[in-house]
Structure 1
Amino acid sequence: MRQTRSRSRALLLISAATFFSLSVWFSTNAISGALEVEKSIDESSIALLTIAVQLGFVFGTLVIAFTNLSDLINARTMFAISAVLAAATNLLVIPLESTPMLIAARFATGAFLGGVYPPAMKIISGWYTTGRGFALGTMVGALTIGSGSPHLLRSVFSENWQAVIIGSSVLAVLGGLVLKFLVADGPHDVRGAKFNPRYLLGALTKRGPALALTGYLGHQWEIYAMWAWIGSFMLYVVGEKPLLDDGLELASALTFLVFAFGAAACVYAGVWSEKIGRTATASIAMVVSGGIASFVGFLSPDSTVLIVFIVVLVMIWGAAVVADSAQFSTAMTELSDPVYRGTMLTFQTGIGFALTAVTIWLLPIIRDSSGWGWAFAMLAIGPLVGTIAMMRLRSIPEATMLAGGRR
């Protein structure tokens, strides 16, 4: 009973720390309109700021892996240091004026976030052997709502974009302190072996890990481009109007709700993955998200009824697009040698986030040439590929290693 209480407390605190620390991820997306005016940054450069964070994250995770920092530094310490440094580089958005320097600052923020998200997954795995899908789902839910928190800050501080940057940085520092000083290492923590490319190549020739990776890449093709540009789409749908008199900007508030629905869906999907299996849970989520992505952008907000319908669809999309996320990471930990769990998660995360740069860059180009419909429909390719991979994984013997045999 004491162990159950301890791990529940650890999950709560790790999730809170992740929520706080990931608030700097989309901080510039939430204030993109202000940056265009204040710093003369065009929309293509806003995309580059987001892509810089993604590529910085890949760089950070790979540096940590190849230098074996995860063994040299305790995961909680690494999380705390990285969160504080990400907060500091996030603040540079305020004084910097040139676009190249802003891109460099966002790259640095992403690199330091590479020391936040993967260590958090490792710490969670140290507390959970059973129920790991639920635990990682809860943590990814915290990541989701943390990523959306700048939109809430923007909604509240609609006339003060600097407050969004400062607020997200304060939250990131708080997250680092919470994880460092209030969370202990779990009883099932496994000291990772050195990053081993040879093991990696060998593991990826096996059907189980290869299909789990393919499913994850399909998921990543869609999710971060959707997250990066859904604020602009909501502005297109509802226009520039306040929610309450002169406060709470409606488009930003609705965008935050997209992330909030996603956070709740992550926890719910984590629970169901332990009942119906990882592959089934991930496939259902991808069918829903891919289905909505394929047509929602073609709907025109010409009337109040259509606007409400579009908003409802986007909320469902926000839930489905991330509900499957934790299941890919959990599947990879279950299909891999525990000693090389960190190697597999690092590679999966790194290559997945590198792929996100492609769709984040591509989406506004397609939107400008062909409209929101085809831009979002392009994202549906990912869930289609991911669902096929998950259904294939479910059919092979290795799937019995997932979710206690529930596949």
Structure 2
Amino acid sequence: MKPSKIILPIIVFSQFCCTSLWFAGNGVMQDLVSTFGLNDSAVGHLTSAVQFGFIVGTLLFAILSIADRFSPSKVFLSCAILGAIFNLGVIWDGNSLTSLLSFRFFTGFFLAGIYPVGMKIAADYYEKGLGKSLGFLVGALVVGTAFPHLLKNMTHAFPWKMVLVATSSLAILGGVLMLSFVPDGPFRRPSQKLEISAFVKVFQFPKFRAAAFGYFGHMWELYTFWAFVPIMLQTYAWAHPEVAFNIPLWSFLIIALGGLACIVGGYISQQLGTKKVAFVALLLSCICCLVSPLLFGQSSEAIFIAFLIFWGLVVIADSPLFSTLVAQNASPEIKGTALTIVNCIGFAITIISIQLLNIMRTWTSSNFIYMVLAIGPILGLLALLSKKPHLEQKR
């Protein structure tokens, strides 16, 4: 059965709306620092709180096989509403660092029922051309992640709390649209029972492991780069007083343009193969990590911005391709659990890399710290170069 033409646009738009919760705190980070008297390390702690919440949520969802046992659209709506409520908690005037960390943690927890579940819904509809479909879906995640920076730029004349109100409203809208217009897909194979060990069994398959390890290497770099884009821009501006960056706007563009790379990569993968395109994107982002210190000394702001835009394109282009390989190499009845547990481990890795850079920033002001981000891509490339096993490349 061919899915309705509105299915993919609804999934994509709903994913965009709901994932705008992810970096809502980062979009107003400087306001949080000044309003609640936080120190400069708050950017790392608050970003990691969301990631940690997402990890705990995905682990629990995977152990309980939530996305495989229950209607994914209903799970999506429930988590969108709850995530929106906790996101709004940040605007409470009585917040301290502890309460802010708690609100961001639970926002991340319920994102576990949005991002991987959205991919599960897409996989239930698009067995063929999954790479292209997930390209649109992850593209929506990217734009949703960047959107709070744009909102901050647009609402500079309004209270910063409007960014949180707007992202929470969007999340509820996305959840309602998903439940209203996207019923269970034709390729869904619901699990009839609770299988606690399912999230471990998926790693028994060598092809699945190879795809997952490539994804883990990619994740070491991705969210840390996104979290530190505003800091990179600010660092360059401090070193070049003649430069006057609009940091929220450029942060949005650098991150959001990666959504286009996801879509283009999905189309290219249909011609060249999923693994090959993922390898090239991961290699290019690895090179960006290694050469990044040289760009901070570049006197041309246009070249510096162009470099960050290029890095923003290649750092995310492989994400939907790895998710495609993971979904294709998992059993249909535990596909949702497989995607969820891989997300769980991948985002656990992001906490380590974010906190590592956060700590290194207190040790040194050197821009060579960003070379550390190359560790993940290097290991991911080694996983992809493995001759045994070969990854499946269904189209």
**TM-score normalized with structure 1 length:** 0.90
Is contact 2:15–2:115 with CA below 8 Å preserved after alignment? yes
Match of 1:94 among 86, 91, 94: 91
In 1, the alpha carbon distance for the partners of 2:205 and 2:291 equals 36
Give the 3 Å change call, closer, same or farther, for CA 321–193 of structure 1 in structure 2.
Answer: farther
| Partner of residue 382, structure 2 | 388
Give the 3 Å change call, closer, same or farther, for CA 69–199 of structure 1 in structure 2.
Answer: closer
Is contact 1:366–1:374 with CA below 8 Å preserved after alignment? no
| Partner of residue 403, structure 1 | 394
What letter matches 1:365 in structure 2?
A: I
Asked whether 1:125 is paired with 2:152, we answer no
Deviations 1:336-381 (A, max 9, x none): 2212222221221111111110111111222343335322110011
| Partner of residue 134, structure 1 | 132
* Matching of residues 54-69 of structure 1 within 5 Å: 54-69=51-66
| Partner of residue 228, structure 1 | 227
Cα deviation, residue 280, structure 1? 0.8
In 2, the alpha carbon distance for the partners of 1:299 and 1:19 equals 31
Is contact 2:210–2:389 with CA below 8 Å preserved after alignment? no
Match of 1:264 among 260, 267, 271: 260
In 2, the alpha carbon distance for the partners of 1:330 and 1:193 equals 24
In 2, the alpha carbon distance for the partners of 1:194 and 1:30 equals 41
| Partner of residue 371, structure 1 | 365
In 1, the alpha carbon distance for the partners of 2:79 and 2:155 equals 27
| Partner of residue 104, structure 2 | 106
Cα deviation, residue 189, structure 1? 1.6
What letter matches 1:231 in structure 2?
A: P
Cα deviation, residue 130, structure 1? 0.6
**CA RMSD between the two structures:** 2.2
The structure, 1 or 2, with the larger RCO (C-alpha pairs under 8 Å, 6+ apart) is: 2
Give the 3 Å change call, closer, same or farther, for CA 81–298 of structure 1 in structure 2.
Answer: same
Match of 2:6 among 2, 5, 9: 9
In 2, the alpha carbon distance for the partners of 1:18 and 1:48 equals 25
In 2, the alpha carbon distance for the partners of 1:370 and 1:169 equals 37
| Partner of residue 67, structure 2 | 70
Is contact 2:83–2:110 with CA below 8 Å preserved after alignment? yes
**TM-score normalized with structure 2 length:** 0.93
In 1, the alpha carbon distance for the partners of 2:194 and 2:390 equals 24
In 2, the alpha carbon distance for the partners of 1:205 and 1:74 equals 27
| Partner of residue 210, structure 1 | 209
| Partner of residue 49, structure 1 | 46
Cα deviation, residue 278, structure 1? 1.6
Is contact 1:215–1:387 with CA below 8 Å preserved after alignment? yes
In 1, the alpha carbon distance for the partners of 2:351 and 2:379 equals 18
In 2, the alpha carbon distance for the partners of 1:162 and 1:312 equals 31
List gaps (5 residues or longer) in structure 1. none
Paired residue total: 390
| Partner of residue 306, structure 2 | 312
In 2, the alpha carbon distance for the partners of 1:150 and 1:113 equals 16
In 2, the alpha carbon distance for the partners of 1:164 and 1:198 equals 40
Q: After the TM superposition, which parts of structure 1 deviate over 6 Å for at least 4 consecutive aligned residues?
A: none
Asked whether 1:357 is paired with 2:356, we answer no
Is contact 1:285–1:323 with CA below 8 Å preserved after alignment? yes
Is contact 2:63–2:198 with CA below 8 Å preserved after alignment? no
What letter matches 2:367 in structure 1?
A: G
Secondary structure of the residue aligned to 1:24 is: coil
Give the 3 Å change call, closer, same or farther, for CA 56–113 of structure 1 in structure 2.
Answer: same
* Matching of residues 193-204 of structure 1 within 5 Å: 194=193, 196=195, 198=197, 200-204=199-203
What letter matches 1:117 in structure 2?
A: Y
What letter matches 2:286 in structure 1?
A: G
Asked whether 1:32 is paired with 2:6, we answer no
| Partner of residue 326, structure 1 | 320
| Partner of residue 250, structure 1 | 246
What letter matches 1:278 in structure 2?
A: T
List gaps (5 residues or longer) in structure 2. none
Deviations 1:130-166 (A, max 9, x none): 1000101110000010010000001111242111111
Deviations 1:289-329 (A, max 9, x none): 111121223433563x2x11111010011010010001111
What letter matches 1:129 in structure 2?
A: E
